[in-house]
Structure 1
């Protein structure tokens, strides 16, 4: 296996997101190693109304404006941690939300962390459950994914999966932009749910996103 280099992440998130399908994410959080194959991602660009970076730099999203290849972690609804690989071209900000994965190694550890999981397909099915299975919290925020000594790293073992694309899950703004990518036949992929508050983007935002 080879770790993904910095240049891999120094590209538009919409390019990086589908290429992360089939990659491996490995966590040594808490001194216990869990490795999983990524099966679902979503891209978020700076000019995207659904992105945390859309309204500019804040203490919360600072890492998304920084060096590509770091981990952006945030707490969703005060309950679930969500992890993102910072990815963008120079002068921009953005990232790729890692939504789901299939645990390959450390399944006993992941199952202990996810005691309510129905089966192996559900250990890391959804962004909050993925973070829990891998033991990732705000402690890993900002981790360098390209550093061999990091608690969290991304690797390629050459596996290629058939990929589908469609709208992102649960976003209120820009709900129909097809920047969600998933392994077409994998049961670890989460269920699509459109936000009940979804709003169509206005003309300005639509042009920006499609540029």
Structure 2
């Protein structure tokens, strides 16, 4: 499955990491010919997992501050998980974040889920590290990606229509 299709399909999916998780409500797609993608210049030690098997995690540190969680689509294509609605292990996530804002942004989400650099390359097919797609497609919001300096105009950001807790509002 290509990155754009996967980004759409992941909205509404359930994500579970070591007893904490919820419903994915916002994603962004990144592809191999995309100048904003880590895969644009080819495989490196840092982005190697992005060229790995489909359905595995690509975890990287953004701006040296927080981790970001992605799902690999085809080699060189990945989907950033930007936000989720917490439903499982909420008290644990609240203790980790010490904030009312738990999972509305990629850095907050990874902190709440206790994503580790060692999760890079892990398959999302284990009981304690899994994604389960929703049985049917959800109503989507579509807009440009955010927080990047290249290819900002591409409408490759997807959100669950009517959801609260998105990282940022979608343009009207």
Matched, 1:16 2:6: yes
Larger Rg: 1
Matched, 1:145 2:124: yes
- Superposed, 1:2-41 pairs within 5 Å as 11-28=1-18, 33-41=19-27
In 2: Cα distance, 1:160 partner to 1:115 partner: 33
2:138 maps to: 161
In 2: Cα distance, 1:61 partner to 1:138 partner: 12
**Which is richer in strand?**
2
Task: Name structure 1 gaps, 5 residues minimum.
Answer: 1-10, 194-211
The answer on whether the counterparts of 1:67 and 1:86 sit within 8 Å (CA) in structure 2 is yes
1:173 maps to: 150
TM norm structure 1: 0.77
RMSD: 1.5
In 2: Cα distance, 1:15 partner to 1:103 partner: 24
Superposed displacement of residue 191, structure 1: 1.1
Superposed displacement of residue 161, structure 1: 3.0
Superposed displacement of residue 112, structure 1: 0.5
**Which is richer in helix?**
1
Matched, 1:73 2:63: no
Q: Compared with structure 1, are the counterparts of its residues 159 and 133 closer, same or farther at alpha carbon in structure 2 (3 Å cutoff)?
A: farther
The answer on whether the counterparts of 2:83 and 2:105 sit within 8 Å (CA) in structure 1 is yes
In 2: Cα distance, 1:102 partner to 1:159 partner: 18
Aligned length: 170
1:48 maps to: 34
TM norm structure 2: 0.94
Task: Give the 4+ runs in structure 1 shifted more than 2 A.
Answer: 156-161
Q: Write out per-residue CA displacement over residues 127-162 of structure 1, whole angstroms, 9 at most, x where no aligned residue.
A: 00000111102021111112x35x421013536532
